[in-house]
Chain A
Amino acid sequence: MSKDMKFLVVDDFSTMRRIVKNLLNDLGYAHVTEADDGTTALPLLRSGDFHFLITDWNMPGMPGLELLKAVRADKRLAKMPVLMLTAEAKREQIIEAAQAGVNGYVIKPFTAVTLKEKIDKILDSHSNAA
């Protein structure tokens, strides 16, 4: 997968967005955009052409699960790889996210290695499915 891919990172905490952006840059992905909530992310997704969505769950306006569902419901966005990056770790939540079509789920606190592994895994299966 090309390092030109455009990532959208969604989290209501700017420190977390900054950490993920730095990690993505370290992995060679230079195009990283940030959004602070599902409500601001959705229009960005609809108007930009992003290749990968990384989102938190617990956000005040539109939580990550709702954002995921909105993405899957939108014809143009439905196939986008979505990785959830969140402190929410209940079994029911993970199951619900999986049923809503999430491609990966990383719980906080996480390591750089874990993030890389999950992104690579998603991209591998994504290109295989294509």
Chain B
Amino acid sequence: MSGSAATLQSEFGASIAALSAALAASDEQRFYGELDALVQRREFALFGELRKLTRDLQDALERFRIDSRLVDMAEKEVPDARHRLDHVLKLTDEAAHRTMDLVEQSGPLAERTAQQAAEILPMWRRFRARTMALEEFQSMIARLDVFLDAARVDMGSVRNNLAEVLMAQGYQDLSGQIIRGVMKLVTELEQALAELVRLSKTHGETRRGLSDETRRGFGPAIPGINNGPSMSDQLDVDALLSGLGV
């Protein structure tokens, strides 16, 4: 007997034998009982196959859905996210420069006002102490005229510049909203990739040693993100280097 014939024999042999015996004995009840049992077993096996096929189909559809979503993300949303982050860079860059421009304009004005007040102050004190000559008094009045006008104008500019500095901080709200949007995409990518890995049932070994990420670099330290231990300051770096003979 061949292999499959032996399997059939072991699986159905007893039932067939029972069926034949029942038929030969004209035992209708027993015959139908055996027949029903046989049919039930067959149906059960078929449903098992169907369930497996359905699950395979679902997995395939799931993969297709994830794959096509990943394609969407790769072709449209990731490049879009890159543009959005580029824009964030631009916003923060412009806001920083704008603020520094305003600071650079305001510094000299405040400096000038303080300086001129400091120059006039000794004269004023002499006046208050009644030790001031008339000519000096007239000269002081003239200087005070100029100073008060200049201070009004200069401090007005400083006041306006400070208001502009305030407005420049609006970049944080706008760039924050953009970053939130990109974070959503990153989360979706993370979930899709995790799903894909699960469905593929790949068990790749994670490489030890210098990983891709270590090679590419982690960027500046961000509070709350732990990339593993880092050197705390230059002294630590110097100590490590000197230990290596550098």
Residues of chain A whose beta carbon lies under 8 Å from any beta carbon of chain B:
11, 13, 15-16, 18-19, 22-23, 26, 58, 87, 108-112
Contacts and interface: CB of A to CB of B under 8 A. Distances in A.
Contacts, number: 36
Contact of B169 (A19, A58, A87, A108): A19
A16 B167 contact: no
Can you list the 8 inter-chain pairs with the closest CB atoms, starting with the nearest? A16-B173, A13-B173, A15-B172, A109-B170, A13-B176, A22-B166, A15-B173, A15-B169
B54 interface: no
Contacts of B172: 13, 15-16
A68 to B, nearest CB: 19
B68 interface: no
A87 B166 contact: no
A58 B173 CA distance: 11
Interface string B174-199: 10110000000000000000000000
Nearest to B172: A15
B163 A16 contact: no
A75 B192 CA distance: 47
Given A58-B177, A108-B173, 5 more contacts: A11-B173, A87-B173, A108-B170, A109-B174, A112-B167
Interface string B110-130: 000000000000000000000
A6 B174 CA distance: 26
Contacts of B174: 87, 108-109
Contacts of A109: 167, 170, 174
Give the bracket for the number of chain B residues in contact with chain A.
Answer: 10 to 19
B167 A87 contact: no
A25 B163 CA distance: 12
8 contacts: A13-B173, A15-B170, A19-B170, A26-B163, A58-B177, A87-B173, A108-B174, A109-B170
Nearest to A115: B167
B151 to A, nearest CB: 21
A22 B159 CA distance: 13
B176 A19 contact: no
A19 B177 contact: no
A18 B177 CA distance: 16
Nearest to B159: A26
Interface in B140-172: 163, 166-167, 169-170, 172
A111 B167 contact: yes
Identify which of B169, B172, B173, B176 gathers the most chain A CB atoms within 10 Å of its CB: B173
A11 B173 CA distance: 9
Interface in B31-86: none
B48 to A, nearest CB: 47
B177 A87 contact: yes
Contacts of B177: 13, 58, 87
A79 to B, nearest CB: 29
Q: Which of A11, A108, A109 is packed against the most chain B CB atoms within 10 Å?
A: A109
Nearest to A23: B166
B170 to A, nearest CB: 5
Contact of B163 (A11, A13, A112): A112
A88 B37 CA distance: 68
Contacts of A23: 166
With a 10 A CB-CB cut-off, give which of A13, A87, A112 has the most chain B CB atoms: A13
B160 to A, nearest CB: 10
B167 A19 contact: yes
